[in-house]
Each structure stands twice: as C-alpha cells, then as structure tokens.
Structure 1
Amino acid sequence: MICIVNFKTQMSYLLQKQWLKDAAEQYRDFDLWLAPTLPELNNYAGVQIVSQNISVTERTVGEISGDILNHLGIQYSIIGHLERRQLLNESTTIINGRLNSCFKHDITPIICLGVHSGPDLVLREFKSIIKKTSLINRDIVVVYESLQSIKLGYSTYSDVEMEAVYMMLHQYLEDLKISGNGPRTFKLIMGGHVDEEGIKLADKIGYDGVLIGDRYQNIDEFKVITEAIAL
C-alpha cells in the first residue's frame, strides 16, 4: 500500500525536516510518499519525496516549476488538491495545465478529485481535468477525497460512496487502457481525513493507498497509521 502524507503549510520547517529524517531511519513494509511544503532533494532512504504542486507550463511567479522538480529528482506531484480549489478557486482548466506540465517534465501527476460526491460527478470531474490531454503511455495516480471530511476535520464518507467511486474510476481507466487510449499504469488513492478505520476500508475496497493530511506532527504520532497499514 502507498501512504501519501501531505505536510501542507502549517507544520514548521524544522518539524518537517525532522519528520523526513526520522521517516528515512525507520523500516516499513509499505511505500511512504511525503510532500513537504518546500520540495526537498529526493534522496531520503526508503521515502519518496513528492511535490505539493507544479506550475503550469506558461510563465508564472511564485510556483514550483517542473524543471526544479526534475533537478531535485522528484517524480510525483500533487495537482488539484481540494483545498486549493476551494480557497484559491483553482479551475479544472488550470489543473489541466498542471497535468500537461507534469507530462512535459516526465513527472507522474497525483490528480485530486472530490469537489463533487457520487461516482458520476467524480468521473465527470476527472474527464474535465484530462480533457484534450493524452494519457497514452503515461503513469497517473488518482486520489478521491471526501471534501466534507476535509472541511469538518473528521471522517464523514460512507463505505458505499468510497466503493462506488472506486468502481467507476477503475472501470473507466481500465476501459481506456483496453481501447489503447489509456495510461500505461494507474493507481487509485483514498483521501479525506483518512484514519485507521479508513485505511481498513481502503484496503478492503481495493484502493492502492491513502492520502493523509498534516495532523500527525511527528513520526511517533504517525505510528497509529503505520500499525493500521501493517494489519
């Protein structure tokens, strides 16, 4: 299983550095991807450093370019995180620009979905993000987050909702692959204030991993997640 931990912006820089150091020193039997506020050189043992974002291909200011991520050895970037879409009004058109930037720099996008709930609307959201962009021979990671859970700070998603979205996205992407128009590989991740019970649910449904926020301030607090994944 993959566990993505997004540090966001509230955790101090020193705490983040300690988190990375401690995580690299511990053995685990799952893939741990960490997204610090400021991208770090991807050279921590046993840990994959991912970017919280990537700039569009056009000239911009104050964002991380794909060229910098390449220089740091970073292979994955989160795009379209729900908090950015809610607080910064980031549209699917902008997210599509970030998607194209990922592909231009051979970076695997971690595409976040969940502005709408329900499988049909989530699939429509995904189609809007990938519109006019070829997925052929690409690798992608798709995250479905429960927006309501993020807003309230606790799990509000149902087993039925999470399974229905998984089945819809999985079938759509498999059909694309069969038709020759789909990605080379894809992984589906469950997010939205995932806790220990959420990890069990994600595994039961078939998700390839989970997305965790910044509520675990150090590696000791994170042990509850580590133990839940190990079960």
Structure 2
Amino acid sequence: MHKTQGESLDFVQSFKSQIENTNNQREVILCTPFTSLTVMSKNLHGGRVKLGAQNIHWEDKGAYTGEISGDMLKEIGVDYAIVGHSERRQYFGETDKTVNLRLKAAQEHSITPILCVGETKQQRDAGETEDIIISQLQKGLVEVDQNNLVIAYEPIWAIGTGDTCESSEANRVIGVIRQQLENKNVSIQYGGSVKPNNIDEIMAQSEIDGALVGGASLEPASFARIVNYQ
C-alpha cells in the first residue's frame, strides 16, 4: 500500500530511464496498488515493463465489496496478478482454497498468476518448512495450468525482520518446489528482503529464476539496480 497515482507516475518515469540498456531477456513487472493501475498502464503501454495487480477475485462480478475481478484488471492492461502473498494470508484470512480459486480465475482471464508460498519462523524452527510448502503447492495448484504460472518462495520470517535467508538455502527450497511441479520450467522467484546489495548473489543460484521485491522496489534507483543485477 504505497504511492498515490502521482507518486506512481513519478516513479515509473524515473525507473524507465534507468533500465533503457537492460538486457531484453529480463522480464520486469510492476505490481502496483489498484488505484495506480490505470495511470501506470497508460505510461507503460507497448514498453518492456509489464503491469501486475496485487490480488484478483475468483468471481467476475457480485457482492464482494473491496474486491477486483479479472475483467476489471484485463480491461486496463494487467498481465500479472500476485496471489496468496504472505500478507494476504497473515492479515486477511487467505487460505489455500481461496488461493486456488484466485489462481484459476487469473488464468481464465489470460492473466499470469504469481503464486506465493512460504513458511513462518515458528514453522521453520519446528522443521516443517518442506511440509508446509509442499502442502501449499498441492492444495493451491489443483486444476491450475502450470504453463501459465510464476511461483515465488517468500520465507515469511525473512521479510522485513532483519533475519536473512541465505542464498544457498533459498536455492535449496526452490529446488524442492521445482520437484513438486509437473512443469519443471515454471519460473520460480525468491522474495524475502531482496536488496541491491544481495541481488547478485541471489541471482547466481542455479534454481532461482527471479526476485519478488518488496521495500527495495519503492525507490527507482534501488529497483533498477536489482533489475540490472550482475
């Protein structure tokens, strides 16, 4: 929940100028608040930066106050939607069942969902990391097309806590995630205190295809450095 429409516009104009020479093979997606999607769409149209939403509802319309449908998102040029982010699960009652419904709804509207999975510190300390993540995948991916999917591993205990997940450990867990998939080529990202000073090491890992970036994406130069990892 960051940036007004005006602030979003200022951000994207500065950010675009800093990735003009970035390798074209790198996909860049900005997942903005719903209020900024339209202004962002107009300013990103036809460019290399894709637009994503932070959530999507499973019904096309109805009495779901505060929710946004796939039709609404597609109309303004949204290509991606985050589904099951840890904050949605933690603060807003998201379950593996509702995550599954949202994933399928996104795909029905030709929107690529970014499925977030990850464990809490309590679960990690109890040695339950693999069991939790495998369960999230098994329940979340029922009848989901793995050819139109991105997955993000976000260890909840490493988000904004000062605790860091070692790159080698993130790589190991993402390898476990890949083993559960029918499509081994699904792009799997790491998300958890990704910053300019650790992105190079993260992206050097064999299993990690990309990064889901939170706080470090709010400043154009910071996010551009992440996109331009070495």
TM-score range, shorter chain: 0.7 to 0.9
Q: 1:203 touches 1:209 (CA, 8 Å); kept in 2? A: no
Q: TM (normalized to structure 1)?
A: 0.81
Structure 1: segments with no counterpart, 5+ residues = 1-8
Question: Could you tell me which of 31, 44, 47 is aligned with 1:45?
Answer: 47
Task: Supply the distance in 1 between the matched residues of 2:148 and 2:13 (Cα, whole angstroms).
Answer: 28
1:72 equivalent in structure 2: 76
CA displacement at 1:104 relative to structure 2: 1.5
Structure 1 residues 16, 161: CA separation in 2 closer, same or farther (over 3 Å shift)? same
Task: Supply the distance in 2 between the matched residues of 1:134 and 1:84 (Cα, whole angstroms).
Answer: 20
Task: Supply the distance in 2 between the matched residues of 1:160 and 1:24 (Cα, whole angstroms).
Answer: 31
1:145 equivalent in structure 2: 154
Q: Deviations over 1:69-107 (max 9, x none)?
A: 211222211100101111112111111111121122121
Structure 2: segments with no counterpart, 5+ residues = none
Query: Residue 220 of structure 2: SS of its match in structure 1?
Result: coil
Which range moves more in the overlay, 197-206 or 108-117? 197-206
Q: Deviations over 1:4-27 (max 9, x none)?
A: xxxxx1333322221122233341
Higher relative contact order (CA 8 A, sep 6+): 1
Structure 1 residues 160, 145: CA separation in 2 closer, same or farther (over 3 Å shift)? same
Following superposition of structure 1 onto structure 2, how do residues 1-231 of structure 1 map, counting pairs within 5 Å? 9-26=1-18, 27=20, 28-29=22-23, 30-38=26-34, 39-40=37-38, 41=41, 43=45, 45-57=47-59, 59=62, 60-116=64-120, 117=124, 118-131=129-142, 133-135=143-145, 138-152=147-161, 154-173=162-181, 176-177=182-183, 186-195=186-195, 196-227=197-228, 229=229, 231=230
Q: 2:217 touches 2:223 (CA, 8 Å); kept in 1? A: yes
Task: Supply the distance in 1 between the matched residues of 2:219 and 2:167 (Cα, whole angstroms).
Answer: 29
Q: Which amino acid aligns with 1:122?
A: I
CA displacement at 1:202 relative to structure 2: 3.4
Task: Supply the distance in 1 between the matched residues of 2:98 and 2:214 (Cα, whole angstroms).
Answer: 23
Structure 1 residues 75, 226: CA separation in 2 closer, same or farther (over 3 Å shift)? closer
More strand as a share of residues: 1
Structure 1 residues 199, 15: CA separation in 2 closer, same or farther (over 3 Å shift)? farther
Q: Which amino acid aligns with 2:53?
A: S
Q: 2:54 touches 2:81 (CA, 8 Å); kept in 1? A: yes
Task: Supply the distance in 2 between the matched residues of 1:44 and 1:50 (Cα, whole angstroms).
Answer: 15
Structure 1 residues 165, 98: CA separation in 2 closer, same or farther (over 3 Å shift)? same
Q: TM (normalized to structure 2)?
A: 0.81
CA displacement at 1:200 relative to structure 2: 1.7
